[in-house]
Structure 1
Amino acid sequence: MIAAPPDPAVLAGLATTRPGPAGASFLRTGLHARRLLLLKTLLVRVRRHREAVAPAVLRGFEAGWLLFERAERARPDVVRAALDYPTTGTWLATALTEPPGAGLDGHLAHLELLAVAAALRAGLPLDLVVEASGGVIPLPGLGRVEVGGAGPVRIDARARSVRIVGGDGTGSRAVLRRHARGSGRTLTGSGPGWHGLCALPGGVTRLEDLDPYRLPPGMGMPARAAADRADTDLAGWAGSWTAARGLLRATDRARAFEVGRSVDAVVPLVPLGTRSIGATLGAAPGAILMTPAAGAPDMVETLVHELHHSKLATLHELVPLHRTHPPDRAPPTYRVGWRRDLRPVASVLQGAYAHLALADLWHRAGRVGRASGVPRQWRIHSARQFDHIHDQVVEALAILLESDELTNEGREFVRQMRKHLASLSSGRRALA
């Protein structure tokens, strides 16, 4: 993905899992470059095979592309945010792997809606008609409009307001209000059929329970389902988020800042049983999928763990850390302490990195004083968890360093991970 590896100091900093501006900037810049590349790849694919795309879909795709260009000239920051939003990555990955036909046409139609959402945030005037597939107009990063049936929908955007009305004047008559102040990233809405995304308290993270690309179908074993708005306890999520952010700030302010800045969306999952579950999608860095948490410590651990899966997936796209195994041979697998099944080297690295981040968190939580406001029960729990996971991470790092599947950058990355874990081990002390 990149012509040369990053500054060794940046790679070493990322290996420690500790938050830092240089590492965050490297990942953000690389993610955006990759999104631009994927979007251009989709454009080239459509132009090369335009005869296989339905004419109406092709017109909408080209209109969406032109609208994106208009929005970028007016507010490049808003367009960048739209392209880098997690569900945009899932949409691109899905569209680029879908064979020509009705399925691909449906994915291509999403580009115009993505461009409309960006244009609305950018403050552009609009007067256009879009098709409501399945009676829904999704506006990525903003919300969705339920129009009551398939057909044309008119979007009329003026200086301070946006009206979204069914083509025959019936059904939805949603109104969005544009605000003169702010970054242009959000609008407020009302009216029949309008459902806006909810921002979690204290930052820009959104509770993403509306976007059609927030979770591919059939993910996980057993398959997981994304909770829709009707299944989402908005007040419960807001309360859990507030409690978790408070606990994380008291434990590790740098990590609390990183979570607030790097987690763009929390995607609620429908619970299966009583056990809390977290997940990430490689195509959607910045989104954390999770079931409702069993208390603040549970949410804190899920956020930190899953965020580091996301960070490592992005880093590997930019700087390959391990080699791709030949498709004609089964890859070697290894046993790690946190899984019952055997794992390939890529999964060993992912697990070791996420658990190193938790070990760092637990190490700090176990050492903070009583005056920090961190509950004693959380400090005791963290000290025990650190002891439990420490040796498992040591063993996983040894497996990785003995493997011949790592690249030179990957081997140095793992050495830096081992060095950081050793620094945590040397400072261990009993909880007072």
Structure 2
Amino acid sequence: MSPAVPERALRELGRTEGGTDALGLLVRDQHTRRLILLRALLDAAADAPAAVRPTTAAAGPREHWALLEAADRADRAAVRTVLLHPLTGPWAQRCLRGLTSPAPTPELAADLAHFGALAAAAAIRARLPFSARLTAPAGPLVLPTLGALRTGRGAPSPLDITLADSRVTVRQAGAAPVVLEADGDGPRSEDPRWLPVLTLPPLRDGAPPVHLDDLDPYRVAAPGPQRHGLSAATGPDPAERAAWARLWALTGPALAAGGPHRPAEAAALLRCLVPLRPPPGSAPSGDGPAQCSATRREAFGAVLSSKPATAALLASTLVHELQHTKLAALSALVPLHHEDATPRHFAPWRSDLRPFDGLLQGAYSHLALADYWQRLALGAERLSRRDLAWAEHARCREQVGAVLPVLAGSGALTREGRVLVNEMIAVYHRLADSPPPAGHRARAEAYVRTARMIWRQRNGT
């Protein structure tokens, strides 16, 4: 067994659970990788040829890094909130790709300018007095984890930002200064040009809050999600924010109804929710059964989701997506298999061919959903809620059962992968101890049979 992952932690994760030590191991490794990525970005900025580096009147990466280091000395925890913010990852990776590209990339100038905004946000969180010149983008200037400033400019332009006596002042030529009062909850201002990030309360006592980030320019891959079934990101809207806040207030209890390990894993892993627009098939308000969600490997701790109709559906979305977060982080620590990436497999939750890794990811997340919905069904008092939960449980368990033989039969699983899959099989069989009503099981079996038939017709296999 790999010394990087103790067997006890691996078995916990294989059961789609994870105690404090197991989840902490994943979090610490991902945070270390993020800090290494940021250091690599600084080195790439120093080594990039002049033809690649954009010219700007604002400070450069070295100055931004110096401000980060000073803020880190003042309050390391505050600075890590910014550096380890999930959406800092996609920015850093895109910036690094641009700096190591053989030719200038169109977005590199804006990406490097964002480094200054990130450093300023870190200094503000650390309460470090500073002055810096930033480049405001064509759109709003986003200070990660804090908010955005509407600059009113149609093209990038310089601005000066200072923090003194707990007051942040932003000055831009041709506009009145914007003054923000920096307090423990982030900068506040009555100026309509300032829009703070919405901070959702922790899911359990002692956990960090969760940002509902509808501002960060790196919250989805430009020009928008290109993945299966995803819609584009939403922009800031007061009514949408209020609806998310109301839904969030009910999500903690809905998660806990699926077992105490569900709010525990969400508290350990989730730092950011990125709201997406309702997918096709939804009502204009977003209400209805249609929903889409995703995670991004480079944005550890973020979940992207359109707004579900109920708290139970939002809780199940978190259960689903956080399994992807866990498995991706575990795979970064230790290889689970040596299968190639050729799409060839049937997955009842998708109509296309899936690679082995996608099959493993999907089975893992659907197994957690089967467990979640079964616990909800067993604890539900209202018949309608119990009926819905059994239907979801039966479908998810049947979907997992359709692909487990492929996973278990692979000769390319590593020792760690074999332990993980064996634990998944054990959970799958344990779920049979409390079976759903016969009608739900029959409908789930028919659903998977139909999905397989459509898949064969569509893929010619």
AA aligned to 1:94 is R
Q: Which residue, 206, 211, 215 being the options, matches 2:216?
A: 211
What one-letter code is carried by the residue in structure 1 that aligns with 2:218?
Answer: Y
Pair 1:379–1:223, CA change in 2 (3 A): closer
| Distance 1:29-1:136 versus aligned 2 partners, 3 A rule | same
| Equivalent position SS for 1:229 | coil
Q: Post-superposition, which runs of at least 4 consecutive aligned residues in structure 1 deviate over 6 A?
A: none
Q: Which residue of 1 aligns with 2:93?
A: 93
Pick from 357, 360, 363 the counterpart of residue 368 of structure 2.
357
Is the aligned partner of 1:337 residue 2:337?
Answer: no
Question: Which amino acid in 1 is paired with 2:327?
Answer: L
CA-CA distance at 1:229 after TM superposition: 0.8
Q: CA deviation at 1:430?
A: 6.1
Equivalent of 1:126 in 120, 130, 133: 130
Q: Which moved more, 1:134-143 or 1:377-386?
A: 377-386
Structure 1: gaps (5+ residues): none
Task: Indicate whether 1:379 and 2:368 are aligned.
Answer: no
SS of residue paired to 1:119: helix
Q: Given the two structures, how large is their TM-score scaled by the length of structure 1?
A: 0.89
Pick aligned residue for 1:368 from 365, 379, 383: 379
Identical amino acids, percent of aligned pairs? 34
- Structure 2 partner of 1:285: 300
- Give the stretch that moved more between structures: 303-312 or 225-234: 225-234
Alpha-carbon distance between aligned partners in 2 of 1:147 and 1:58, rounded to the nearest angstrom: 16
Counterpart CA distance in 2 for 1:157 and 1:332 is 53
Deviations 1:146-196 (A, max 9, x none): 12223221212013221122144x14x3332223xx5xx733333141010
Q: Which structure 2 residues correspond to residues 247-326 of structure 1 after superposition, within 5 A? A: 247-273=254-280, 274=282, 275-323=290-338, 325=340
Q: Is the 8 A contact 1:82 1:118 kept in 2?
A: yes
SS state at 2:107 partner:
helix
Deviation of residue 45 (structure 1)?
A: 1.7
SS, match of residue 87 in structure 2: helix
AA of the residue aligned to 1:211 = D
Contact in 2 for aligned 1:87/1:284 (Cα 8 Å) = yes
Q: Deviations over 1:343-376 (max 9, x none)?
A: 1101001101110111111121122264xxxx44
SS in 2 for 1:343: coil
Deviation at 1:238, TM superposition (A): 0.9
Q: Residue 294 of structure 2 contacts residue 303 of structure 2 at CA under 8 Å; is this kept in 1?
A: yes
Distance 2:328 2:95 in 1: 20
The farther-off stretch of 251-260 and 118-127 is 251-260
Indicate yes or no: 2:183 matched with 1:176. Answer: no
The alpha carbon displacement at 1:223 in A equals 6.1
Contact 2:200 2:210 in 1 (8 A): yes
1:166 aligns with 2:172: yes
Q: 2:111: which partner in 1?
A: 107
Name the residue aligned to 2:160: 154
Contact (CA 8 Å) 2:140, 2:150: kept in 1 or not?
A: yes
Q: Secondary structure at the match of 1:134?
A: coil
CA positional deviation for 1:8:
0.8
Per the TM alignment, residue 64 of structure 1 is displaced from its structure 2 partner at its CA by 0.7
Q: Deviations along 1:366-405, whole A, 9 cap, x unmatched?
A: 22264xxxx4422232223222222321332221121233
Aligned-partner SS, 1:334: coil
Aligned pair count reads: 415
Secondary structure of the equivalent of 1:56?
coil
Does the aligned pair in 2 maintain the 1:334–1:345 contact within 8 Å?
A: yes
Which residue does the alignment assign to 1:234? 241
Give the superposition deviation at 1:420: 2.2
Partner of 1:346: 357
The worse-fitting range, judged by mean Cα deviation, of 361-370 and 24-33 is 361-370
User: Residue 78 of structure 1 aligns with which residue?
Assistant: 78
| Matched position secondary structure for 2:432 | helix
Q: Is the 8 A contact 1:154 1:167 kept in 2?
A: no
Give the gaps of 5 or more residues in structure 2: 204-208, 283-289, 439-461
Q: 1:54 corresponds to which residue? A: 54
The separation in 2 between residues aligned to 1:322 and 1:68, in whole angstroms, is 39
Task: Give the 3-state SS of the residue equivalent to 1:86 in structure 2.
Answer: coil
Q: Distance in 1 between matches of 2:239 and 2:356?
A: 37
8 A contact 2:85–2:145 mirrored in 1: yes
Moved more, 60-69 or 230-239: 230-239
What letter corresponds to residue 16 of structure 2 in structure 1?
Answer: T
* 1:404 partner SS: coil
Q: Distance in 2 between matches of 1:113 and 1:324?
A: 41
Alignment partners' CA distance in 1, 2:31 and 2:24:
11
2:378, 2:390 → 1: CA distance? 8
Query: CA RMSD for the aligned pairs?
Result: 2.4
Shift of 1:34: 0.8
Task: Tell me by how many angstroms 1:338 deviates.
Answer: 2.0
SS in 1 for 2:178: strand
Question: Residues 297-345 of structure 1, C-alpha deviation per residue, up to 9 Å, x if partnerless?
Answer: 22122121111112211221222223363xxxx7251112222222110
- 1: CA distance, partners of 2:56 / 2:211: 33
CA distance, structure 2, for counterparts of residue 200 and residue 85 of structure 1: 15
Distance 1:339 1:225 in 2: 20
**CA contact under 8 A between 2:376 and 2:389: conserved in structure 1?**
yes
Shift of 1:40: 1.9
Calculate the TM-score normalised by the size of structure 2: 0.84
Q: Is the 8 A contact 1:206 1:264 kept in 2?
A: yes
Aligned to 2:287: none
1:49-75 deviation per Cα after TM superposition (whole angstroms, max 9, x unaligned): 142313437942111111111111111
Whichever residue aligns with residue 118 of structure 2, its letter is L
- When residues 311 and 186 of structure 1 are mapped into structure 2, their CA distance, relative to the original with a 3 A threshold, is farther
